[in-house]
Amino acid sequence: MTYVSLTPFDLALAAILLVVTAGLSLAFRLGLERTIAVSAVRMCVQLAAVALVLKLVFESGSSLATAAFALMMLAATAYEVGSRQERRFQGAASYLIGGAAPFVAGLIASVFAVSAIIGSEPWWSPRFLLPILGMVIGNALAGVTLVLDTITTAATRERVAIEARLALGASRTDAMQDVLRRGLKAGMTPILSAMAVAGLVSVPGMMTGQILAGADPVDAMAYQVMILFLIAGATGIAVVLAGIAAVMLLTDDRHRLRLDRLTTVKKTE
């Protein structure tokens, strides 16, 4: 099987379906036409920019270039998680947690995969490390977003019950245990659902891409299984780190609930 390169005309044909979607939005008066157009243009510009930057990084093979691109991922992750929160911690805490948790977990999983499983030399080879890191962080990001949103929302709604436990002598970790557990379950749900339906309902993206690029389906399957294992492991680490950090910020060392550390953000459509 040979690799088929897509031309701009091919991409324009694929965009016809997006035009149909915009037409449906117009017909049903959903008001999403502008959002669809902006999202499509933004996606194309972002992916084109990333492709060009990655090409330069791959050609250089520099550890500094690899580190710089990874730090760019960290900044984008922090912004994305922090900006998605309806209830944010005061200051930069939401952005710090949102960036650090998925990045640290993703880096652990990616370095392990590149050095121990793939056996790349050097281990920081951008051609292997950066794509894996991007896939892992992107999925861990969703889990961290959910765990933070679940914990802050639950703590706000269950304020009376939590403060009652604290008043009866429970420690802050005991009082927040149920909230933390719910948050961790919510954060892990997307990747567990994706693993459950992989191959049965959907063919995951990496496997699809490799098959379209001419790889043997069995080899593509093996890489996809590896990636899903890495994503699940990294997501588990990330949601635990983010969940514990959120609980610590929502309480203090005097075992008091500190909802005053949260600010509610009104999201505009």
State pLDDT tens for residues 180-222. Answer: 999 999 999 999 999 999 987 778 888 888 888 888 999 999 9
Distance of alpha carbon 30 from alpha carbon 8, whole angstroms: 29
Q: For residue 261, what is the DSSP state?
A: G
> What pLDDT score was predicted for residue 267?
56
Kindly report whether the peptide bond that precedes residue 122 is cis, defined as omega within 30 degrees of 0. Answer: yes
> What pLDDT score was predicted for residue 52?
95
Distance of alpha carbon 171 from alpha carbon 177, whole angstroms: 10
Structure tokens of 217? 């389906």
Low-confidence ranges of the chain (pLDDT < 70): 1-2, 266-269
93-112 and 217-250 helices cross at what angle (nearest 10)?
Answer: 150
| Residue pointed to by tokens 């990496």 | 206
34 burial level (CB within 10 Å; 0-12, 13-18, 19+) = exposed
pTM: 0.87
> What pLDDT score was predicted for residue 167?
93
Q: Where does the chain have alpha helices with state H?
A: 8-14, 16-27, 33-60, 63-84, 93-112, 126-157, 159-167, 172-175, 177-197, 205-212, 217-250
- In terms of Cα–Cα distance, which of 247, 232, 229, 227 is closest to 97? 247
